[in-house]
Structure 1
């Protein structure tokens, strides 16, 4: 059956639609335009750092910290990202977030599951960053929740989509300063009282699509820690890095 379907609908590159050898594969052009983070990276946010390609995990990977995380301490323990938020990685993130490209969830979720593998711990719960009901009404879905479901399935971890809620609507932060971004998110996320017993003492894998300043993840991690959970780790599809293309209108609110 799969062969018949493939014959009718041959595999296409998720980035541009060009023909590829297998489902989920990138064409040569999109592959070159996607910067996967697979070598030395910041132990707190996943940003790539100078070092040998394919460096992988080390016993003291948390000691590797980028300039952003040195300047802005993170209220979580460890972090990983699948790709740099630039080129085809950025286009795919935006296509999922704003372009109704739900067909990208298996591919992008698979990338994130591989990136997040070093963070997985026994008893860990997977928690997506929520969006406000007003934004959900317009977008019809929460891309972070869809990606979190793929990660949870890949690592056989419980998914807790209701662990966090948005208490108030926050505007997109396209041109806001780092300080304004953090101020905008202060107190915006919370753990419902009914969820606190389930989270108590449990390690958390917090999932979002894009990290820029880290304000959204910080607000979410702070709320989770305040509710009594165990160590919080974060994973994102794409990490915006210095020297890359800056975010524009609608890119991200994180």
Structure 2
């Protein structure tokens, strides 16, 4: 008479089996960490846990208060509430507010370029969490997250949208619904790098449009646009104008890094 060996589920084996499985998983993770140590997301030096090494962390410039309440540009001293930067007064944007996690300096530039051009989608979780922290004020009242879209030709060559990758993380952190296809880029544009402020504005003028089948999702909603870098703000301003034309109630902007030319004093 043959023996019938039926598979035994871990649930039937009880607490001892669960403990054994947990111990095995811990040993496997430890072995993997020894074989493949965690690396700094910027310089690739080994680090304990996730994130950046001490040297790179010291080079990151997180943007904290005081800053312009409209544009999020950091001030050199605290002027009190609601005093605006010169930029916000001289050229007010279409969007209501902008916030950024860090200044666009050496380490931030490395992170953005690796995410954007070198397929380092593993950077999106930590960058997105920093953005969610920086944008708490915007996210608390938001109805939708809308990433800045790529033109389909650039999306095909790049294979993913870095702004969409960041927006997915922010959606998980904040609970705000992501509407990744609300905006579309209807006209291919040249790279903004190297263009002047006026050239950037002209380059993206009329480049964005709310998808016709998403108009009902946009109307009356408070929307946060998500992008990787804010330089002059031309791209996100063009996106905001498209959303406002589609009857969005309010549009704000959340980016990973923003260019800050020099410490600013309010006026």
Structure 2 stretches of 5 or more lacking a match? Answer: 1-24
Distance (Å, rounded) in 2 between the aligned partners of 1:123 and 1:37? 21
Classify the secondary structure of the residue corresponding to 2:93.
coil
Classify the secondary structure of the residue corresponding to 1:111.
helix
Structure 1 stretches of 5 or more lacking a match? Answer: 245-254
Distance (Å, rounded) in 1 between the aligned partners of 2:84 and 2:227? 20
Give the count of matched residue pairs.
Answer: 236
2:67 corresponds to: 41
Q: Which runs of 4+ in 1 moved over 6 A?
A: none
2:97 corresponds to: 78
* Aligned counterparts, 1:57-72, within 5 A: 60=81, 63-72=82-91
1:130 corresponds to: 149
* 1:123–1:92 distance in 2 versus 1, CA, 3 Å: closer
Distance (Å, rounded) in 1 between the aligned partners of 2:121 and 2:83? 34
Q: Does 1:140 align with 2:159?
A: yes
1:20 corresponds to: 47
Distance (Å, rounded) in 1 between the aligned partners of 2:34 and 2:59? 28
Length-normalised TM-score, structure 1: 0.87
Classify the secondary structure of the residue corresponding to 2:172.
helix
Classify the secondary structure of the residue corresponding to 1:120.
helix
Q: Does 1:201 align with 2:228?
A: no
Residue 229 (structure 1) shift: 1.0
1:111 corresponds to: 130
Distance (Å, rounded) in 2 between the aligned partners of 1:241 and 1:100? 26
| Paired residues of 1:45 and 1:81 also in contact (CA < 8 A) | no
2:196 corresponds to: 177
2:229 corresponds to: 210
Distance (Å, rounded) in 1 between the aligned partners of 2:57 and 2:120? 19
| Paired residues of 2:96 and 2:252 also in contact (CA < 8 A) | yes
Distance (Å, rounded) in 2 between the aligned partners of 1:174 and 1:33? 23
| Paired residues of 1:45 and 1:234 also in contact (CA < 8 A) | no
Classify the secondary structure of the residue corresponding to 1:45.
coil
Distance (Å, rounded) in 1 between the aligned partners of 2:65 and 2:213? 40
Q: Deviations over 1:166-222 (max 9, x none)?
A: 010000122222111111111110101211111111100110000001000000000
| Paired residues of 1:199 and 1:229 also in contact (CA < 8 A) | yes
Residue 69 (structure 1) shift: 2.6
Distance (Å, rounded) in 1 between the aligned partners of 2:73 and 2:211? 31
Residue 242 (structure 1) shift: 1.0
Length-normalised TM-score, structure 2: 0.83
